[in-house]
Amino acid sequence: MVDIKKIQKEKPIEDLINFSIINVDKCSGPTSFGVDIIVKKSLGLNKTSHAGTLDPKVTGVLPVMLGRACKLLGYFMGHNKTYVGIMRLHKEIDEKKLKEEMQKFVGKIKQTPPVRSRVARREREREVFSWDILEIDNARKPKVSGATESQDVPSHEQHEDSVGRDVLFETEVEAGTYIRKLISDLGEVIGGAHMLELRRTKAGIFEEKDIVNLYDVEKAVKLWKEKNDESLLREILVPGEIISKILPVVEINEKNLKKLWTGKPLFKEDVVGELEEDKFVGFIGDRFVGVYRKVKEGGIIARPEFVFN
């Protein structure tokens, strides 16, 4: 078992910064790329990358990879996401009927990305694991913590403010599912609906309870740079070794470590025990070696996809 807390506490701060993740609480306004830039400039890094883009008006969990941890981005993408949001219905509908219609969108669905998306607009299959009503308000909408109302609602929908019903919901979806489009497609069935607010509360292993806002990031960095106090910064830096929560861990023999750091493939003698996993992370104790994929090439049992050296 890799001791993430120990690594977070004991690793030299410069090394930690260059191989870590910050679970940012994205506010409404900046783009996800804009958040990257803020974090990058604050820490003086050459590179940062975010996992799972959020629209400018959407708030919540946005993991930002730092330095060499950017090489791990692909392993953190593609995991389920959970959102809490508010949709405005354009017509009155019985709650029981609404729940029935929403459940028709749970499971495998076909979805075409919206016009303003960055991906190709072709129909694709996505899975909605749950879509539940938390509250229905006939008056003004209940606020989603940390979120602000979306301003990019089509003008023909804005007149519905006084007659519609605001529905606070929670949904867990496959990565790449567009919640705005999900609501719009529901609206076509029930007489109209659009999204008012949206907040991501979970992205894979990263959760809302562990997020930190950009103000606190800059505060922690300032304390470190000006007073040489690492305490706050260490608290918000999630070591890149957290990938051990994503992929299975295989213990590596230390004997050939220098060669492994140059990209040497793994032979049976390099691994402690039998190799059963198709893709895994290699560790020597709490020291991360690399990400490997299993192969059958004579004596070679695995090749590196990424090596930390």
The tens digit of pLDDT for each residue in 80-91 reads 999 999 999 999
In three-state form (DSSP H/G/I as H, E/B as E, the rest C), the secondary structure along the chain is CCCHHHHHHHCCHHHHHCEEEEEEEECCCCCHHHHHHHHHHHHCCCCEEECCCCCCCCEEEEEEEEEHHHHHHHHHCCCCEEEEEEEEECCCCCHHHHHHHHHCCCEEEEECCCCCCCCCCCCEEEEEEEEEEEEEECCCCCCCCCCCCCCCCCHHHHHHHHCCEEEEEEEEECCCCCHHHHHHHHHHHHCCEEEEEEEEEEECCEEHHHCECHHHHHHHHHHHHHHCCCHHHHHHCEEHHHHHHCCCEEEECCCCHHHHCCCCCEEHHHECCCCCCCEEEEEECCEEEEEEEEEEECCEEEEEEEECC
Question: Measured at the alpha carbon of residue 227, what is the angle toward residues 213 and 287, in degrees to the nearest 5?
Answer: 70
Separation CA 32–CA 11 (nearest Å): 28
| pLDDT average, residue stretch 99-119 | 86
Q: Given 3.20.20.80, 3.30.2350.10, 3.40.1350.10, 3.40.50.720, which CATH number is that of 4-75+206-243?
A: 3.30.2350.10
Category of 60 on φ-ψ map: left (φ > 0), alpha (ψ -120 to 50) or beta: left
Start-to-end CA distance of the chain, whole Å, equals 21
Positive or negative torsion for Cα 69, 11, 267, 246: negative
CB-based burial of residue 215 (10 Å sphere; 0-12 exposed, 13-18 middle, 19+ buried)?
A: exposed
Instruction: Cite the active site residues.
Output: 55
What confidence score (pLDDT) does residue 273 get? 85
Tell me which amino acid residue 51 is: A
Assign domain 81-200 to a CATH class: alpha beta
Instruction: Delimit the CATH 3.30.2350.10 region(s) of the chain.
Output: 4-75+206-243
* Low-confidence winner among 67-76, 156-165, 239-248 (lowest mean pLDDT): 156-165
What CATH superfamily is the domain 247-307? PUA domain (2.30.130.10)
Instruction: Delimit the CATH 3.30.70.3190 region(s) of the chain.
Output: 81-200
Tokens 């750091």 sit on residue = 261
Separation CA 308–CA 68 (nearest Å): 8
Instruction: Delimit the CATH 2.30.130.10 region(s) of the chain.
Output: 247-307
Separation CA 91–CA 62 (nearest Å): 34
CA-only gyration radius of the chain, Å: 23
| pLDDT average, residue stretch 266-282 | 91
| pLDDT average, residue stretch 57-79 | 95
Does the predicted TM-score (pTM) go above 0.95? no
What would the pLDDT profile of 20-39 be if each residue is shown by its tens digit? 999 999 999 999 999 999 99
Mean pLDDT over all residues of the chain?
89
